Amino acid sequence: MRCGRVVLGMIVVLVVCLGGSGPRGSGISPATGAAGWVLPTEPVTINEWDGGDGTKSALLRELIAQYEQMHPNVTVKFETDVKSLKVAAAIAAGTAPEIFEASDANLQKYIVAKVVEPLPPAAWGQTSVDGVVALYLPHVLDALISGHSLYAVPDQLNAHSLYINNRLFRAAGLDPVTDAPKTWDDVARLNTVLTKKQGDRVVQKGFEMRYVCDDGHWQAHIFHILVYQAGGEVIKDGKPAFNGEAGLRALATWKSLVVAPSVTNNTCSSPYQDFAVEQDAMTFAGPHVGKIVERINPAMQGNYTVAPLPQLRPDHPATLIYSFNWTVNTRASAAQKRVAWDLIHFLSSKPEVWWQRIQFLQGTKDWLGMPVARNTPFMSAFTHDMSVGRPLGRTTYYADLQTIIARMVDRVVLKNVDPKSALAEAEQEFTRASSP
Amino acid sequence: MVGLRTTPADMPAKARDVGRARPWLRSAEARHQAWGYLFLAPMFLLLVVFKFVPMLQAFYLSLTSYDLLSPPRFVGLRNYATLLQDPLFHQSVGVTAYYVFGTCVLIWFVSLGMALIFNAPLPAKNVLRTIYFIPAIVPVVVYAIIWLFLFHPYGLLNVALHAIGLPAVQWLSDTRAVLPGFILSSLWRFAPYFMIIYLAGLQSIPLEYYEAAAIDGAAGAQAFRCVTLPLLRPTILLVVVVSIILMSKVFTNVLIITGGGPAGATRVLSLFIYQTGFQYFKMGLASAASIFLLFGTMTFTLLQLRLFRDDPRG
């Protein structure tokens, strides 16, 4: 009898404790996610905007439906294919959703403007930001941290690797594994073997940089990679740092790899088209691109090999790591924020599903130990490139930076402008663009 | 509604007497005017809400620093000063001027020539006119994609050049070739549209004038110079004004085909405004450039209206 009373008392204390730690004025219940992260029990509606394509949104819809089943009081209104411009306009109008996707390039701007909420470690079952960071591969969250706060976690994390077309390599008497280029000089040499012409018409290329997208997205990525590989920085303390030896070496390397930039069917919405239709024998891309290439051209299934990205100095390997991330709006109510972070934790805790369904990596350590990771082809190349990846130059003027880099590359590659003066001009342009 | 009131001094004496006797709205003329303004009101309201207020708002924004994320901060005329020193803006103004005048001058002559051809007795004239008009009704995105294919290094344009023994042109990557290419594509799209306007002007000239000119011994080129051109003057004014306004607003095809590249060679002013505002989130600077474009277009229009104004001395 006495024992029963003790148990009853403990239950009452537990219920009171749980009730007292929740958001003011709301009923709460333990989350199904991280232990100790309590959720409101009253109806909560949150909006989520994502910038992804059809395959990603299909998976997200499924996962959100699962979450809604687990939490019948939660309704998630999901919108897909949302561009960053719409997010910015909605923030200005005060109508931004509770969860929105932000690339690491845009995140700095959002952090400075205080429109994104710092991630609460408790939602991940951790007591500190370091605890959350420790769940991920080293440095992959660097771009998402400001001060002592972490502002987002990735839904997609990429480091560029080198994709090789097996058939075209073999047709040229090369082995896609043993003859995979280790340096950019190797790539330039292979270009002479793999580029084919009919008359004066280029019908096949070895490797070509990507010049599509008016915002300069790809040119900025490659320039970052080459500068990092040359031992330099693109941005240091918010100031341009690319106008130096590393920048010069990057541009010289770039020029050595030019074949015929205008001979391309790549577009901004289909940037891997040339590799997929077997015009280009090699390209650079993240882990998710294999499936995209196979969708464009089913004949590419089993017809490609992935190797680590070529380097300028193989003893100091470097590449770029970039991400698209879930963020939470500071304007959301306390209850919405709790649910939003819990949903993000739920979505990001299924790395095996993300990989199997759409080849998205999120950079968590536990993923590497899963059987699906061990059985994934080319995983060593992907993880190698992630391990040497560095984030994009950190600036709130990244949009300016990437178009300035693209214009600089255009000047050097297409107009044969001296790289030294092109770098100086780009530095001036960025200094002017980033002056408050 | 300032225009509604007619002062007694403006009225004829009889009307003034009537006006004294009866309240203003009771006169038939006033009632007629009131109805007119009433019917105009919805359109006027739309213009105010969706044109003039945004224009005023853009002017206000042009005096601020605003990135959409934080509230606008008043900076006076700094955005205008920045634009004046910005080489990219200078380049955009140059590109726009090159494109507008390159395209417009060609359009004025080609569309007039085509109108003269289609105004003459021709077999299957209506069918030919319809075929020639098709590019003008193609949606702008389709038009841009068609020319994306035509401009491809191995596209039809280069095939045609090759067939006549000329070297291929890198239409989209050669900074010297890309703008002439755009001018060519704009001519393809807009010349039929202006041809129709010219054709309407030509058909409104009474045949009697040509008959009288023929009796006086003027035919062919002389009749064109002495009869057609003077009577086509209002149409020419319309074509010149509308074509310059249309071309200075060019945007979609440039965005789709080159995105302003290579090396900024096709970054027209409207694209500069778009990129400044919606890629770099510099709304103040973009608004200042918009105001510049507005005043530039207005200045040209007023200039043309003055140049083409009928000489009162005959």
3-state SS string over B252-277?
A: HHHHHHCCCCCCCCCCCHHHHHHHHH
Does the CB of A198 have a partner CB in chain B at under 8 Å? Answer: no
Question: First CA to last CA across chain B, in angstroms?
Answer: 37
Judged against a pLDDT cut of 90, whether residue B115 lies above it is answered with: yes
Q: Which CATH fold topology does A160-321+394-433 show? A: D-Maltodextrin-Binding Protein; domain 2 (3.40.190)
Q: What pLDDT, on the 0 to 100 scale, is given for residue A221?
A: 95
User: Helix, strand or coil for residue B254?
Assistant: helix
Region(s) of chain A under CATH 3.40.190.10: 25-158+322-390, 160-321+394-433
For tokens 């002479």, name the residue.
A192
Residues 6+ away with beta carbon under 8 Å from B143: B135, B185, B189, B253
Domain B85-307 has CATH 1.10.3720.10: yes
Alpha helices for A21-138 (secondary structure H): 54-70, 84-93, 104-112, 129-133
| Cα–Cα dist A64/A347, whole Å | 8
Are the CB atoms for A401 and A395 separated by under 8 Å? yes
pLDDT of residue A28: 42
Q: Which residue of A has its CA nearest to B167?
A: A200
Which member of A109, A201, A261 has the closest CB to residue B173? A261
Q: How far apart are CA B261 and CA B267, in angstroms?
A: 7
Record: contact A215-B279, CB cut-off 8 A: yes
pLDDT digits (tens, 9 = 90+) for B235-247: 999 999 999 999 9
Put simply, whether B81 touches A (Cβ < 8 Å) is no
Q: pLDDT by residue (tens digit) across B264-275?
A: 889 999 999 998
Judged by a CB distance cut-off of 8 A, whether residue A249 touches chain B is no
Phi and psi torsions of B250, nearest 5°: -55, 135
Q: What percent of chain B has pLDDT over 90?
A: 52
CB-based contacts of A8-12 (< 8 A; 24+ apart in sequence): none
Angle between helices A104-112 and A398-415 (to 10 degrees): 140
Q: What is the pLDDT of residues B142-154, one digit of tens each?
A: 999 999 889 988 8
Domain ranges of chain B: 2-61, 85-307
Q: What is the distance between the alpha carbons of residues B144 and B189, in angstroms, rounded to a whole number?
A: 10
CA-based nearest distance A103→chain B, Å: 14
pLDDT tens-digit series, residues A101-118:
999 988 998 999 899 999
- B98-112: average pLDDT: 95
Task: Supply the ipTM of this predicted assembly.
Answer: 0.70
In chain B, what residues touch A263 (CB-CB under 8 Å)? 153-154
Token look-up 């599509």 returns A212
Residues of chain A with C-beta less than 8 angstroms from the C-beta of B263: 407, 410-411, 414-415
* Identity of the residue in A109, A407, A414 whose CB atom sits nearest the CB atom of B69: A109
Contact between residue B194 and residue B239 where contact means Cβ atoms under 8 Å apart: yes
**DSSP one-letter code for A118:** P
The predicted pLDDT at position B314 comes to 40
Q: Is the pLDDT of residue B286 over 90?
A: yes
Is the Cβ pair B261, A410 closer than 8 Å? Answer: yes
Residue B121 neighbours by CB under 8 Å, 6+ apart: none
Min Cα distance B248 → chain A (Å) is 20
Q: How far apart are CA B290 and CA B272, in angstroms?
A: 10
Stretches in chain A below the pLDDT threshold 70: 1-35, 436
Joined together, the tokens standing for residue A431 give: 């200094």
Residues B54, B62: Cα–Cα separation, whole Å? 12
pLDDT value for B143 = 92
Distance CA B134, CA A351 (A): 53
Q: How many CB atoms lie within 10 A of CB A397?
A: 23
Q: Return the pLDDT at A85.
A: 84
Q: Is A134 within 8 Å of A359 (Cβ atoms)? A: no
How far is residue B107's CA from residue A337's CA, in Å, rounded to a whole number? 58
Q: Report the pLDDT value the prediction gives residue B291, as an integer from 0 to 100.
A: 95
Q: In the block, which residue shows the tokens 């304007």?
A: A331
B residues 147-166 closer than 8 Å to A (CB): 153-154
Question: Tokens 């057609």 belong to which residue?
Answer: B228
Closest residue, chain A, to B68 (C-alpha): A92
Subunit contact A109:B278, Cβ cutoff 8 A: no
Burial (CB count <10 Å: 0-12, 13-18, 19+), residue B120: exposed
CA distance B199 to B201: 5
Average the pLDDT over B71-89 and give the result.
91
Q: Are residues B68 and A414, on separate chains, in Cβ contact within 8 Å?
A: no
The C-alpha atoms of residue A183 and residue A188 are separated, in whole angstroms, by 9
Residues A392 and A93: their CA atoms lie apart, in Å, by 29
pLDDT at B2 over 50: no
| Contact indicator for A196, A203 with CB cutoff of 8 Å | yes
Cα separations (Å) of A268 from A1, A107, B61, B103, B244? 73, 22, 31, 28, 31
What does the pLDDT look like over B5-26, one tens digit per residue? 444 455 555 545 544 555 666 7
Secondary element (H or E) of residue A398: helix A398-415
Fold adopted by A25-158+322-390:
D-Maltodextrin-Binding Protein; domain 2 (3.40.190)
Most confident by average pLDDT, B79-88, B92-101, B278-287 = B92-101
Task: State both tokens at A5.
Answer: 């009373």
Contact with chain B for residue A213, Cβ under 8 A: yes
Q: pLDDT averaged over chain B? A: 86
Mapped onto helix, strand or coil, the DSSP state of residue A400 is: helix
Q: Say whether A307 sits in a helix, a strand or coil.
A: strand
pLDDT category at B79 given cuts 50, 70, 90 is very high
- Band of pLDDT at residue B173, cut at 50, 70 and 90: confident
Instruction: Provide, as residue numbers in chain A, all residues whose Cβ is less than 8 Å from the Cβ of B86.
Output: 432
For residues A208 and A258, what is the distance between their CA atoms, to the nearest angstrom?
6
What pLDDT is recorded for position A10? 46
What span, in angstroms and rounded, lies between the C-alpha atoms of A277 and A8?
Answer: 69
Segments of A117-266 assigned E as strands:
145-146, 149-150, 153-159, 161-165, 196-198, 201-207, 235-236, 239-240
Helix, coil or strand: residue A320 = strand
Asked if the Cβ–Cβ distance from A263 to B154 is below 8 Å, we say yes
